[in-house]
């Protein structure tokens, strides 16, 4: 993996092959960050990266100037890798070992942007639970954005209606705003 842009553009990140992850592809990350750079001043936001895995999304945000990034993953080795990489590259990432649903039940702080990349085999009930916790526990600041990465087989609009969707091969991103209401009877 390599960081696509920012202060660490081109920097290669080597992660242990033993990590139980499916990193967001370089093509998908480039598309995602092209969208975000046209909408957001990266130096003015804080980011929560859920199911952070290798940490590549957090590294991209940090490289582009985000000052406060929290990465959450339940796997000890993923968190250890993120902490080590953050120290080696002098990145401003705080890595927290926690199961994401449990983490979201206890408000921590509010964020301008939350990125979530759950396992692609998650069911719609799990997505609904996660998204509901984010909105009900007010994890997003006013005008905050939630971005959920999911498989093209997962039809998230059956649970929540996104305001923007993008697809890059198998990687799909659905964008949600704080003020959006969910469809309570759908699943």
DSSP string across 21-70: --PPPHHHHHHHHHHHHTT--GGG-EEEEES-TT-HHHHHHHHTT-SEEE
Q: Looking at the domain assignment, is residue 40 inside a domain? A: no
- Enumerate residues 6+ apart whose C-beta is below 8 A from 104: 50, 130, 133, 134, 137, 139
State the CATH number of the domain containing residue 58.
Answer: 3.40.50.150
- pLDDT on residue 31: 92
Provide the token pair at 166. Answer: 């993008």
Q: What are phi and psi of 166, to 5 degrees?
A: -140, 145
- 120 pLDDT band (50/70/90 cuts)? confident
pLDDT in tens, 123-134: 999 999 999 999
On the question of pLDDT at 179 being above 70, the answer is no
On the question of pLDDT at 160 being above 80, the answer is no
Provide the token pair at 139. Answer: 């994890």
Provide the token pair at 61. Answer: 């945000």
Q: Looking at the domain assignment, is residue 94 inside a domain? A: yes
Count structural domains, the chain: 1
Average confidence score pLDDT of the chain: 88
Q: Report the residue count for the chain.
A: 187
Give the separation between CA 178 and CA 135, rounded to whole angstroms: 6
- 187 pLDDT band (50/70/90 cuts)? very low
A 10 A CB-CB count for 92 gives: 13
- 186 pLDDT band (50/70/90 cuts)? very low
Q: Looking at the domain assignment, is residue 38 inside a domain? A: no
Q: Looking at the domain assignment, is residue 52 inside a domain? A: yes
- pLDDT on residue 23: 76
Which residues in 158-184 are b (16+ Cβ under 10 Å) and which e? ebbebeeebebeebbbbbbebeeeeee
Q: Looking at the domain assignment, is residue 87 inside a domain? A: yes
- pLDDT on residue 180: 46
* pLDDT top residue among 147 and 165: 147
Give the separation between CA 179 and CA 104, rounded to whole angstroms: 18
pLDDT in tens, 3-23: 888 888 888 887 777 777 777
Q: Looking at the domain assignment, is residue 32 inside a domain? A: no
Range of the structural domain that residue 162 is part of: 45-177
pLDDT in tens, 32-81: 999 998 889 999 999 999 999 999 999 999 999 999 999 999 999 999 99
Q: Region 24-37: what's the mean pLDDT?
A: 90
Q: Looking at the domain assignment, is residue 75 inside a domain? A: yes
Q: Looking at the domain assignment, is residue 80 inside a domain? A: yes
């Amino acid at each position: 993996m390599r960081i696509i842009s920012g202060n660490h553009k081109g920097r290669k990140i080597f992660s242990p092959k033993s990590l139980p992850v499916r990193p967001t592809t370089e093509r998908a990350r480039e598309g995602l960050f092209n969208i975000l750079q046209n909408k957001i001043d990266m130096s003015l936001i804080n980011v929560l990266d859920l199911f952070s895995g290798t940490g590549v999304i957090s590294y991209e945000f940090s490289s582009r100037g985000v000052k406060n990034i929290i990465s959450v993953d339940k796997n000890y080795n993923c968190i250890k890798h993120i902490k080590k990489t953050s120290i080696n590259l002098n990145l401003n990432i705080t890595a927290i070992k926690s199961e994401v649903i449990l983490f979201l039940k206890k408000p921590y702080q509010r964020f301008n942007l939350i990125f979530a990349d759950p396992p692609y085999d998650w069911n719609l009930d799990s997505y609904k639970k996660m998204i509901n916790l984010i909105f009900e526990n007010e994890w997003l600041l006013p005008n905050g954005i939630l971005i959920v990465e999911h498989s093209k087989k997962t039809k998230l609009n059956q649970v929540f209606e996104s305001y923007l969707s993008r697809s890059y091969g198998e990687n799909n991103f659905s964008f949600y705003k704080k003020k959006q209401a969910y469809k309570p009877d759908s699943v």
